[in-house]
Structure 1
Amino acid sequence: MSTNTLILGLQWGDEGKGKIVDALAESSEAVCRFQGGHNAGHTLKVDGEQKVLHLVPSGILHPKVNCVLGNGLVLSLPALAHEISDLKESGINFEDRFFVSEDCCLILPTHIAIDKVRDKEEGIGTTGRGIGPAYEDKIARRAIRFGDLKDLKELKIKLFKLVNYHNQVLEKLYSAESIAFDDVFEELENNLFLYHNYKCKTQDLLKMWVKQDKTIIFEGAQGSMLDIDHGTYPFVTSSSTTAGGLSSGLGIGPKHIDSILGITKAYTTRVGEGPFPTELFDANAEELAKVGHEFGATTGRPRRCGWLDLKALESIMFINSVSNLCITKLDVLDGFKDIKVCVDYDDDEKPIYKTFAGWEEDTSNVRSFDGLPEAAQNYISFIEETLDCTVGIVSVGPSRDQTIYKD
């Protein structure tokens, strides 16, 4: 009997999902993404070599694992072409194992232009990659989809109207330069090979795999606290990053999800603007950022750092029906004398902390839960008890082998 697992980040992204998907993909037959775009950044370290994936699912490094980009994504064709080219140069094969939904909406140069000028005024702190404007067009039913590339004559008519609309927005609302229609069309035309090589009716494919009892991993991008509905609105992404986004973003019903693995760092980080109750502004923040190499894999922006927030996690775990937890970057806390955890908020919404003694030992070479320092075990056990959920995986470094499977 196969087991299909949904893997989600429970914070504001950057939880280490890519490494965990990569580790678990070895025993699966497919890895599928269902939302977001190339604003995601999943960093993998294999045999000392680092890979950063923005669109391609993290299972691609395993030769026998199929990979799918579902209809819920917004797709930058140049970004996808560049990523595939880089991976092929590393000897990774895409033939007959990489599939892109014909229903993916495309990100155009005009989307990127609108995103950048708008964020200067609004200060949301987007990645500036056109994600939000592309999702806007999807909801407004005017988007160009991957499947539209099959008929260039019809595409030209549809695209002309959309580019004209975008240029009106750029010129009239933001006093910005317009983008030539020919430039937008040329970008699509130059990447037609992606359509011919990878187009797929992915819903039919998934239906077939489920009937064949294949083991599937569903890979979330960004983090649950960035969800368009359940995140820290308006400082959120433009897609459904929680469990509910899976069914709409891949066309597969909830009954085909057997387990939901929630991933959280042993502390908390955030990139960009927005509330962050446990954010630190002292030497502890500097230490977390330095030891944890806290810079965004997609933007390179420094991440804001703070203590673990169990009160926020409690809510987001309920929304996602998390059945098992993974704690990443436990090793980053190795040098701390004291470690704080938020257990509640006071009447002014300020965090109430519980303080733990640090373990002040190197955990990066530990490979069993019992091998962890007692203080580290106590820290993990408290998280389990507070959230009423088992921690099944603990990551103590970026490499595949720096992973502890607790059960």
Structure 2
Amino acid sequence: MPAIVLVGAQWGDEGKGKATDLLGSSVDYVVKFNGGNNAGHTVVIGDEKYALHLLPSGILSPGVVPVIANGVVVDIEVLFQELDAIEARGVDTSKLRVSANAHVITQYHRTLDRVSERFLGKRQIGTTGRGIGPAYADKINRVGIRVQDLFDENILRQKVEGALEQKNQLLVKLYNRRAIDPDEIVDELLSYTDRLRPLVHDTSLELNQALDAGKTLLFEGGQATMLDVDHGTYPFVTSSNPTSGGACTGSGVAPNRIDRVIAVAKAYVTRVGSGPFPTELFDESGEYLRKTGFEFGVTTGRPRRTGWYDSLVSRYAARVNGVTDFVLTKLDVLTGIEKIPVAVAYDVDGQRFDEIPVNQSDFHHAKPIYEYFPGWSEDITTARSFEELPANARAYVEHLEELSGARISVIGNGPGRDSVIERHSLLHD
């Protein structure tokens, strides 16, 4: 049975939660392998809308084992808030697993995130202020707190005191803030241990054993390819690897066990936060996409920047991730647009680029070269097969497929759970 990696092909908010939900009834485990509560999935089930931030969206599928793996940074307070919220709506959360090796976001990570971002002024990265970056920095600096540390008070206290020796110097002398009391942090973290203990597992071992037993695993990436710390628009990126390779390091499952890589892309493009965005729109077309597509952040409520489909970004995602299938979402948002532009190349100071420039400055100054495709005016939200789409909508999808480097297997044509068109199976060739 397959191990499937699901990633975002653009700058996030592509509709990965819907794709995960589509696969949910066919998989046994859904694994979150990177990020924290700085990104959200919206899943619509009937008349119910669920906004998930830290929890894997597979937690909404009965019978699925949801896993927060070692590559995630966990704000335990947020974890319990989310669990309480969905349990109050009747969702069974008893199967949730949390990796003993996942790192913990503390109060001092959130504080440092906010004050350091303000300190940057015009050079702000556009973080959510939720402590994600500082927690990952501590992980790399080998001064992080792991979930397992909460069950050994002596180790926990040593690590918190060691981390705060330097951080309090920064807070007091550079940022003019009060020092943080280590006891305050330790007491807060210890208050979670009783509830947390039953959730904590050796998730790498369990996932590999599940594959050995013929189970199907879905690895769900937070954020997206263009926000990858190594392969995205650095420094305007997240602090982890949301690309397919991150699924291996973030879960403890080896690369040769991955069978498929599914990338989700909108039929246009959005971005939240700072950084280059070649097809960004500043006119009524951009506002139309924002309003029609309800382009506001699940986690932050921030309005998203909007732009036309960028085939160079999709080809890049296909290459970096080894994409086998694309899921194209929000095709219905383009209904009523007479001519739909698609970026097929960039112009950088008179030089044509058919692939994303490796030089960040070139990418920042890139101007899109568009091809225009005829639009459609018919309502497509009731279509359940590719043949039911208007001819121009079918042609648009087929052109994007030619430009994007992998087949478009699924099309999202409305906000509902069942508003999908399956051209090819995501589980089998």
**Can you list the C-alpha shifts for 1:255-304, whole angstroms capped at 9, x where unaligned?**
11111111000000000100000000111001000000000101110000
- Is 1:59 matched with 2:51? no
Match of 1:357 in 2: 374
Match of 1:6 in 2: 5
Residues 99 and 200 in structure 1, CA contact (< 8 A), matched pair in contact too: yes
Give the AA of the match of 1:8.
Answer: V
For the Cα contact (< 8 Å) 1:37–1:131, is it kept in 2?
yes
TM-score by length of structure 2 reads 0.93
Partner of 1:99: 97
Q: Partner of 1:291 in structure 2?
A: 292
Counterpart secondary structure, 2:189: helix
What is the alpha-carbon distance in structure 2 between the residues aligned to residue 395 and residue 110 of structure 1?
40
8 Å Cα contact 1:111-1:166 kept in structure 2: no
Tell me, yes or no, if the aligned pair for 2:9 and 2:313 is still in contact at 8 Å: no
Aligned counterpart, 1:24: 23
* 2-structure distance, mates of 1:285, 1:31: 34
Given that residues 7 and 244 in structure 2 are in contact (C-alpha distance below 8 angstroms), is that contact kept between their aligned partners in structure 1?
A: yes
Kindly provide the amino acid, as one letter, of the partner of residue 136 in structure 2: Y
Cross-structure match for 1:120: 118
Question: 1:123-142 counterparts in 2 under 5 A?
Answer: 123-142=124-143
Q: CA deviation at 1:184?
A: 1.6
Give the conservation status (yes or no) of the 8 Å contact 1:78–1:187: no
Q: State the partner residue of 1:81.
A: 80
Rounded to whole Å, the distance in 1 between the matches of 2:253 and 2:311 is 31
Output the amino acid matched with 2:334: L
- Structure 1 unpaired stretches of 5+: none
1:253 is matched with: 254
Cα distance between partner residues in 2 of 1:324 and 1:194: 39
The question of whether the paired residues in 2 share the 8 Å contact of 1:60 and 1:67 is answered with yes
C-alpha deviation, 1:151, in angstroms: 1.1
> Whole-Å Cα distance in 2 between the matches of residues 339 and 382 of structure 1?
12
In the TM superposition, what whole-angstrom CA distance separates every residue of 1:59-92 from its partner, at most 9, and x where no partner exists? 1111200011110011100000100111111122
Which residue in 2 is equivalent to 1:108? Answer: 106
Distance in 2 of aligned mates of 1:57 and 1:13? 15
Alignment-mate amino acid for residue 280 of structure 2: E
Long gaps (5+) in structure 2 = 350-365, 425-429
Could you say what secondary structure the match of 1:230 adopts? Answer: coil
Residue 188 (1) aligns with residue 186 (2): no
After the TM superposition, which segments of 4 or more aligned residues of structure 1 sit over 3 Å from their partners?
none
Shift of 1:347: 3.1
Q: Tell me the distance in 2 between the aligned counterparts of 1:347 and 1:194.
A: 55
SS at structure 2 position matched to 1:250? coil
Where 2:348 maps in the other structure, the secondary structure is: coil
**1:376 partnered with 2:374:** no
**CA contact 2:326–2:407 (8 Å) conserved in 1:** yes
Superposed, 1:260-271 pairs within 5 Å as: 260-271=261-272
CA distance in 1, matches of 2:231, 2:156: 35
Amino acid at match of 2:117: D
How many residues matched? 405
State the secondary structure of the residue aligned to 1:103: coil
Instruction: Please state whether the residue corresponding to 2:400 is helix, strand or coil.
Output: helix
- Aligned position for 1:392: 409
How far apart are residue 335 of structure 1 and its match? 2.0
Deviations 1:156-206 (A, max 9, x none): 222122123222221122222333323322321221134312010111101
Residue in 2 that maps onto 1:68: 67
CA distance in 1, matches of 2:3, 2:387: 28
Note if 1:162 corresponds to 2:179.
no
Structure-2 residue corresponding to 1:337: 338
Deviates more, 1:344-353 or 1:282-291: 344-353
- Give the aligned residue type for 2:417: R
Q: Assess if the C-alpha contact under 8 Å between 1:110 and 1:167 holds in 2.
A: no
RMSD after superposition: 1.1
Deviations 1:1-58 (A, max 9, x none): x122111001111000011101111111110010000012000010111101111111
Q: How far apart, in 2, do the equivalents of 1:404 and 1:255 lie?
A: 30
Q: CA deviation at 1:318?
A: 0.3
